[in-house]
Amino acid sequence: MGLGFLVPAFLAGLAGLIVPVLLHLRHRDRDRPLRFPSLMFLEKLPIRTERRQRITDWPLLLLRLLALALVALAFARPVLTNRDSASADGRTKAVVLLVDRSMSMGYGATFTHALDSARAVIGRLGAGDRVAVVAYDDAAEVLQRLTPDKGAAQGALLRLTPQRRGTRLAPALRSARQLLLEAPFAAAEVVVISDLQRASAAGIAGVELPAGVSVRGIGVGPATWSNSAVRSIEAKRVQSGTGASARTLLAVKARVQSHALAAPRVVTAALSVNGRDATTQDATLNKDGETVITFAPVPAPDAAVSLRISLPADSLAADDTLVAVVPRDDALRVGLVAPDDGGETLFLDRALAIGRAPAVELVRLTSAPGSADALARFGVVMYWDVAPTPSAALTEWVNKGGGVVVVAGRRLAARRGELGAFPAARMVGLADRTADRGGTLRDVRLEHPLFTPFRDVPEALRSVRWWRYPRLDAGPDADVLARFDDGVPAMLETRTGEGRTLLLTVPLDNTGGDFPLQPAFLPFVRQLVMHTSGRDAVPLWRATGESWLVPTTVTDAVVTTPGGQLVRPRADSGLAAVPLPDAGIYTAYRERASGEPAALLAVNVTPAESELTPMDTTELLLGVRSAADTATTAEAKAAAAVLSPTELERRQNPWRLLLLAAALVLVGETLLGTRGRRGMARRVVATPMAPNVTATAEERR
């Protein structure tokens, strides 16, 4: 058994035990002569005392010193260790370095500080210690397994550079756990070297580490930071000109987020289309907050278009660029099931015929399509004042992404009851608002994609008047998007699988209101079919760390990554998945990487990576469990048997025994001190003194 101390600094208190002994031995009485009358007629009886330079009661002094020594040892937190087990393994420590290489680490000199910190940790290790190096961003990569070769670990650090990727600490902790379970050493430590962004801690609550493993973080991020980042892109196709001069243009907006700039920053933003410079736009970025940069519309082909927006580089250049892909301008087929010859739907027909990007092809149907093949021809099926008939084919088509729009009018209002394939609502009659100049909309959920064109001008919808409209009761499964001012639901939506069904009670003709005569009618109708078909739900870009399911139309796909590598994804259940580790444009080809691309995908780092505010190191492992709580496997039990000195001392608690012994010693000292005598006096006979002599203090005693 060996003896160690958790807080050896308190052992310095033992040196203070000599202080009372020295003070006692150095104490001297100083004689001060006093004038006194003659003592010739008095008998001289001097009292001879012991010298104070000599200790007269050793047992009492030793008891007091022992009590003080026991208190000092208790505060030093002694711990008993097994020397046999400690000497059986010369590898006294296993250290796993987790080095963050995400995009945010490229800010200023942050990554240089990270490498210096990693080298310092390796340099402090002993000859028998082992070290491993793990680099992490969205995923973790083991660069060096546990080894006593410090040079190999230093060499692994030389291969590290910041990547345009996000940050997730959980995969790195799982890699460290696996490394430590393979080699359960007496002392295991995980060192996280990162700028410690709060977003990186997502998901670590499910990580489980072996018992006895200590984790500490080394924050290398800047204390104060300023940055500008391109956070999002908005792009849509617009129609310019008419007739033979008509052409499709691409309107692009960029949103730039700034933080703690010293002053407003003047920049020139550049827009490239399909890898070629298209236009630039000067802008002044706010010191804090968002700035919207609007580019002049540029010509664009009907095929899928890749965009890139760039700002002049700042301290974090990686987030000054954002890419996006605008999908093909394919015509959207809408099947219209209407009972009349087109008189009621005149305004709807003309509104959908206007414009491109995409063009809407309206197909009038005398009856609802009932087969899967008939439904597959359309992106949206619209029922004009007709209840859709429930069928297995219709349900399956909606589940796979099809969209249904039911425009309720006076005929559906008269039948009352549920609406067939839309059981989330029940018709209860017709509202007549001609007496009070018509009803208006309220409680419009402008954050919903259906109202995207009106987020900046909500008054465009609220100014419309409706004189007659159906009344209905919405069921619990329906999502009410807007209501009339009398509380009656005006627009409802239900989701089924990947598709959606919308029910409108707002009249789309001029007999029930003046909506077709208002400027809001055209953008509303186009957004209605776009949203229902799912066209507006296609993201312009995805985040790193996700996977891309290559479209099934791309047979024998070959994918080129932003770094130029070729990837042949393996098909699984008919779908080919491609991991997306890096930011940039991924291009899919058929059979070989040449010719016209079959599909494009833009990938960017999540905007949270540009938020450099760090978390405190004490928050690093909130929610991480220890294997001591849930250890069931043999490996976890073996790791739990290896206890740190702190855990050993907590189980032994020897300091309590030392404090108890000190208390008992003080009790014994009290009993001994009250019964013993510290000095004795003896009477002696002395000769008379001459008159008018000076007596010393020793003689007077």
Q: What is the pLDDT of residue 614?
A: 87
pLDDT-derived band at 514 (thresholds 50, 70, 90) equals: very high
Residues with Cβ within 8 Å of 148's Cβ and at least 6 positions away in sequence, in order, are 91, 127, 128, 129, 130, 131
The most confident of the ranges 83-97, 287-301, 343-357, 644-658 is: 287-301
The SS3 of residue 185 is coil
Q: What is the pLDDT of residue 25?
A: 66
The SS3 of residue 541 is coil
Q: What is the pLDDT of residue 211?
A: 77
pLDDT-derived band at 414 (thresholds 50, 70, 90) equals: confident
- Of 497 and 253, the structure prediction assigns the larger pLDDT to 253
Q: Is the pLDDT of residue 44 over 60?
A: yes
Helices 18-25 and 58-75, packing angle to 10 deg: 150
Q: Is the pLDDT of residue 482 over 60?
A: yes
Going by C-alpha positions, the residue among 361, 339, 357, 340 that lies closest to residue 349 is 361
Q: Is the pLDDT of residue 293 over 90?
A: yes
Q: Which residue type occupies 410?
A: R
Q: What is the 3-state secondary structure (H, E, C) of 304-326?
A: CEEEEEECCCCCCHHHHEEEEEE
Q: Which residue, chain included where needed, has tokens 């450099």?
A: 612
Q: Is the pLDDT of residue 296 over 70?
A: yes
Q: Are 534 and 438 in contact (CB under 8 A)?
A: no
Can you tell me the distance from the alpha carbon of 549 to that of 569, in angstroms, rounded to the nearest whole number? 9
Q: Chain-wide mean pLDDT for the chain?
A: 83
Q: Which of 5-19, 329-343, 594-608, 624-638 has the lowest mean pLDDT?
A: 624-638
What digits encode the pLDDT tens for the residues 93-140?
A: 899 999 999 999 999 999 999 999 999 999 999 888 999 999 999 999
Q: Are 290 and 255 in contact (CB under 8 A)?
A: yes
What digits encode the pLDDT tens for the residues 566-587?
A: 998 876 545 578 999 999 999 9
Q: Are 516 and 508 in contact (CB under 8 A)?
A: yes
Q: Which of 7-21, 168-182, 441-455 has the lowest mean pLDDT?
A: 7-21
Q: Which residue type occupies 66?
A: L
Residues in the chain, overall count: 701
573 alpha-carbon distance from chain centroid: 33
Can you tell me the distance from the alpha carbon of 422 to that of 401, in angstroms, rounded to the nearest whole number? 16
Q: Which residue type occupies 273?
A: V
* Count of CB atoms situated within 10 Å of the CB of 618: 8
CA-based angle 222:226:227, to the nearest 5?
115
Q: What is the pLDDT of residue 275?
A: 92
DSSP label at residue 675: H
Can you tell me the distance from the alpha carbon of 335 to that of 405, in angstroms, rounded to the nearest whole number? 10
Instruction: Catalogue the long-range contacts made by 30-33 (C-beta closer than 8 Å, 24 or more residues apart).
Output: 31/696, 31/697, 31/698, 32/697, 33/694, 33/695, 33/696
Domains in the chain and their CATH numbers? 89-224+614-643 (3.40.50.410), 227-302 (no CATH), 332-537 (3.40.50.880), 542-609 (2.60.40)
Can you tell me the distance from the alpha carbon of 90 to that of 313, in angstroms, rounded to the nearest whole number? 51
pLDDT-derived band at 621 (thresholds 50, 70, 90) equals: low
DSSP label at residue 161: -
What digits encode the pLDDT tens for the residues 582-593?
A: 999 999 998 888
Q: What is the pLDDT of residue 632?
A: 38
- Of 192 and 652, the structure prediction assigns the larger pLDDT to 192
Q: Are 288 and 309 in contact (CB under 8 A)?
A: no
Q: Is the pLDDT of residue 30 over 70?
A: no
Q: Is the pLDDT of residue 52 over 60?
A: no
Q: Which residue, chain included where needed, has tokens 């490996």?
A: 635
Can you tell me the distance from the alpha carbon of 213 to that of 625, in angstroms, rounded to the nearest whole number? 11
Q: What is the pLDDT of residue 133?
A: 97
**Residue 319 CB-density burial (10 A; 0-12 exposed, 13-18 middle, 19+ buried):** buried
State mean pLDDT over 317-331. Answer: 90
Q: What is the pLDDT of residue 5?
A: 73
What digits encode the pLDDT tens for the residues 193-235?
A: 999 998 888 878 778 888 778 888 999 999 899 999 999 999 9
Going by C-alpha positions, the residue among 679, 693, 696 that lies closest to residue 54 is 679
Q: Are 138 and 581 in contact (CB under 8 A)?
A: yes
- Of 556 and 111, the structure prediction assigns the larger pLDDT to 111
Q: Maximum Cα–Cα distance for the chain, whole Å?
A: 155
Per-residue CA distances from 72 to 17, 66, 69, 120, 570 (Å): 10, 10, 5, 34, 69
Going by C-alpha positions, the residue among 492, 485, 508, 503 that lies closest to residue 433 is 485
- With residue 679 as reference, give the H or E element that holds it: none
Q: Which residue type occupies 511?
A: T
What digits encode the pLDDT tens for the residues 640-661?
A: 444 556 666 666 677 788 888 8
pLDDT-derived band at 23 (thresholds 50, 70, 90) equals: low
- Of 21 and 266, the structure prediction assigns the larger pLDDT to 266
State mean pLDDT over 9-14. Answer: 80
The most confident of the ranges 303-317, 430-444, 492-506, 640-654 is: 303-317
Q: What is the pLDDT of residue 689?
A: 46
Q: What is the pLDDT of residue 11?
A: 79
Q: Is the pLDDT of residue 639 over 60?
A: no
Can you tell me the distance from the alpha carbon of 112 to that of 100, in angstroms, rounded to the nearest whole number? 12
For the chain, what percentages of helix, strand and coil (3-state, to nearest 5) are there?
30, 30, 40
Q: What is the pLDDT of residue 525?
A: 94
pLDDT-derived band at 27 (thresholds 50, 70, 90) equals: low
Q: Which residue type occupies 666?
A: L
Can you tell me the distance from the alpha carbon of 13 to that of 136, in angstroms, rounded to the nearest whole number? 46
Going by C-alpha positions, the residue among 428, 418, 410, 362 that lies closest to residue 390 is 418
State mean pLDDT over 602-623. Answer: 83
Q: Which residue type occupies 115?
A: L
pLDDT-derived band at 86 (thresholds 50, 70, 90) equals: very low
Can you tell me the distance from the alpha carbon of 607 to that of 268, in angstroms, rounded to the nearest whole number? 21
- With b for 16 or more beta-carbon neighbours within 10 A and e for fewer, the 139-153 pattern comes to bbebbbbbeeebeeb
